[in-house]
């Protein structure tokens, strides 16, 4: 998993509430278990019309936001079914951070396990960032995970809270497998001891 330390990137405004996982990636795209190739289906019904053509008025189709790595959105983002494809699609598109007043619990957990930083801010701070993000390509936001600060397009700085364990995992690029491998020496020592004590089980 890629480390998350400091990110300076264009922020795309998506001022919608209750964006569910089916809106993030519709169920018909869940046939794969691969984490790649899902970015093209992110927000499919919002990004494309009935003929599969890009909707020019959708934020991620606008030239200024096509390379956005930060998404600023409304409350209850990621509600609905607990599909891990939702964070996979965000990650494959290039979104590394989502900022909102709050998130659905399962989506929140899944996102961190896939290297995406989710930041909860008071509604008034989110509104300021959305307003700043509407400047287009000039809507550059800096997210400093170590210091838990966000620097908005206007230069203002906001602080955010984050669980220390989730912070540790992101800073070090550790998913569940990576966390286990941190204890590889202890695991190998246990296996060696167990093999010596019960050789017939090997």
Query: DSSP letters along 100-152, please?
Result: ES-B-HHHHHHHHHTT-EEEE--HHHHHHHHHHHTTGGG-EEEEETTTTEEE-
Q: 29-33, 69-73, 138-142 — which is least confidently predicted?
A: 29-33
- State residue 143's pLDDT score: 98
The CA-CA-CA angle for residues 183, 35, 164, to 5°, reads 45
Distance CA 100, CA 107 (A): 13
Distance CA 14, CA 60 (A): 9
More confident residue, 16 or 1: 16
For residue 108, the tally of other CB atoms under 10 A from its CB is 19
List helix spans (H) across 8-122.
21-24, 44-47, 85-93, 105-113
pLDDT at 66 (0 to 100):
92
pLDDT digits (tens, 9 = 90+) for 86-96: 999 999 999 99
The band of 139, judged by pLDDT with boundaries at 50, 70 and 90, is: confident
CATH of segment(s) 6-173: 3.20.19.10
pLDDT above 90: residue 22: yes
Looking at residue 178, its pLDDT comes to 60
Mean local confidence (pLDDT), 123-150: 93
Residue 150 has pLDDT above 60, yes or no: yes
Percent of the chain predicted with pLDDT > 70: 89
Average pLDDT over residues 164-170: 96
Given a contact cutoff of 8 angstroms between Cβ atoms, the answer to whether 157 and 151 are in contact is yes
- The reported pTM is 0.88
Note the pLDDT of residue 194. Answer: 63
| Predicted confidence band of residue 185 (pLDDT cuts 50, 70, 90) | low
Q: Across the strands, what pairs with 99?
A: 72, 119
Instruction: Report the pLDDT averaged over residues 165-180.
Output: 82
| Domain segments of the chain as ranges | 6-173
Residue 125: per-residue pLDDT: 96
């Amino acid at each position: 998993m890629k480390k998350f330390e400091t990110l300076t990137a264009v922020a795309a405004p998506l001022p919608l509430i209750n964006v569910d996982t089916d809106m993030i990636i519709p169920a018909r795209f869940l046939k794969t278990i691969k984490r790649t190739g899902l970015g093209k289906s992110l927000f499919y019904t919002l990004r494309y019309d009935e003929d599969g053509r890009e909707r020019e008025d959708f934020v991620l189709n606008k030239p200024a936001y096509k390379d956005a790595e930060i998404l600023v959105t409304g409350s209850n983002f990621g509600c609905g079914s607990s599909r891990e494809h939702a964070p996979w699609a965000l990650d494959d598109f290039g979104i590394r951070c989502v900022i909102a007043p709050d998130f659905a619990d399962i989506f929140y957990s899944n996102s961190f396990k896939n290297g995406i930083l989710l930041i909860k801010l008071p509604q008034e701070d989110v509104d300021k960032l959305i307003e700043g993000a509407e400047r287009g390509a000039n809507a550059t936001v800096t997210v400093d995970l170590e210091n838990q600060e966000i620097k908005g397009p206007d230069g203002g700085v906001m602080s955010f809270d984050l669980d220390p364990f989730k912070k540790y995992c992101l800073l070090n690029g550790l998913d569940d497998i990576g966390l286990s491998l941190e204890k590889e020496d202890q695991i190998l020592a246990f296996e060696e001891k167990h093999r010596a004590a019960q050789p017939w089980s090997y």
